[in-house]
Amino acid sequence: MKTTFISTLFTYIFCLTFAFCEAQNEAHPWQVSLGINVIDVYPTGVSKYGTLFEDFFNVQDHWNLGTTPGMLQVTKFLGKGFSFGGRASYNTITKYGNQSAEDPYYNADGIIKYNWNQLLKTDHFAPYFELGGGYAIFDAVGAGYFNLGAGIEYWFGEEKRTGVVLGSLFRNTGETYGIKHFQHHVSVAYRFGNRDNDNDGVVNRVDQCPEVPGLAQLNGCPDTDEDGIPDSKDVCPELWGIEEFKG
């Protein structure tokens, strides 16, 4: 019952966010993702399970796969490839390595992410690295964790607002309590952001004429006579002219 309720809540929140996003334009510093996650405690180097990275891709024997949307992530682009945000997820643990179980799993994180696409000069593919920390609960036992992760994003279309995210992270308690584990995830992501009052494709923060539709090459200002001189600087805004004589 609790799992169904949380799944419904995650989906509802995402749908509300998506509906809001549709009103935004292609300038998208915000990113929201919803997806499924996998918990695996086996290849963590803990002696009673496997050694570090042992059977890392053993899906059938060791992965606890959440079948409903159980991970929600929101991040804000800060600049120079860096983003900051938060993540919450839940799952059901049916096996700790080779040991059977039936425990609920919850976690909440703060994350700092760095995208490599600016260095690689690519828009559609965006490999990333992340670190952060948070709190995770296995059944009734919780602990603080330090997280280290990596993944790749792929963005569709010309505006690159909708994408798919594949990622994996290692959660380490740094202490003897808690359960070290890997969490893998796949999500559908959506980008959104700044307003564009005049709907000319140039966001308000860089639009020098935010209330009048204009051209991107003129920083959002109109050019009625199409002479390459914005109307605000054109002595004859409705008659084609040359820059030497201010239009």
pTM of the model: 0.72
- State the pLDDT at residue 217: 83
Domains in the chain (CATH in brackets) are 2-192 (2.40.160.20), 200-247 (no CATH)
| 73, 33 Cβ separation under 8 angstroms | yes
* Torsion 40-43-44-48 (CA) sign: positive
**pLDDT profile of the chain (247 residues), mean per 10:** 47 44 50 96 86 91 90 91 94 90 94 84 86 91 92 87 94 80 95 75 77 82 83 80 75
Least Cα distance to 181 among 20, 40, 51 occurs for: 40
| 93, 65 Cβ separation under 8 angstroms | no
157's CB contacts (< 8 A; 6+ apart) are none
| CB-side neighbour CA atoms (13 Å) of 39 | 27
* Torsion 98-59-113-204 (CA) sign: negative
Least Cα distance to 184 among 101, 11, 61, 63 occurs for: 63
- State the pLDDT at residue 12: 47
| 235, 246 Cβ separation under 8 angstroms | yes
Q: What phi and psi values does residue 142 have, to the nearest 5 degrees?
A: -120, 160
- The residue written with tokens 């992501």 in the block is 189
- Which pairing describes strands 30-40 and 64-65: parallel, antiparallel, or unpaired? antiparallel
Q: What phi and psi values does residue 188 have, to the nearest 5 degrees?
A: -95, 130
- State the pLDDT at residue 176: 61
| 193, 28 Cβ separation under 8 angstroms | yes
Burial class for 104, CB neighbours closer than 10 Å (0-12, 13-18, 19+): middle
Separation CA 150–CA 211 (nearest Å): 41
Burial class for 111, CB neighbours closer than 10 Å (0-12, 13-18, 19+): buried
For residue 170, the cross-strand partners are 148, 182
| 186, 151 Cβ separation under 8 angstroms | no
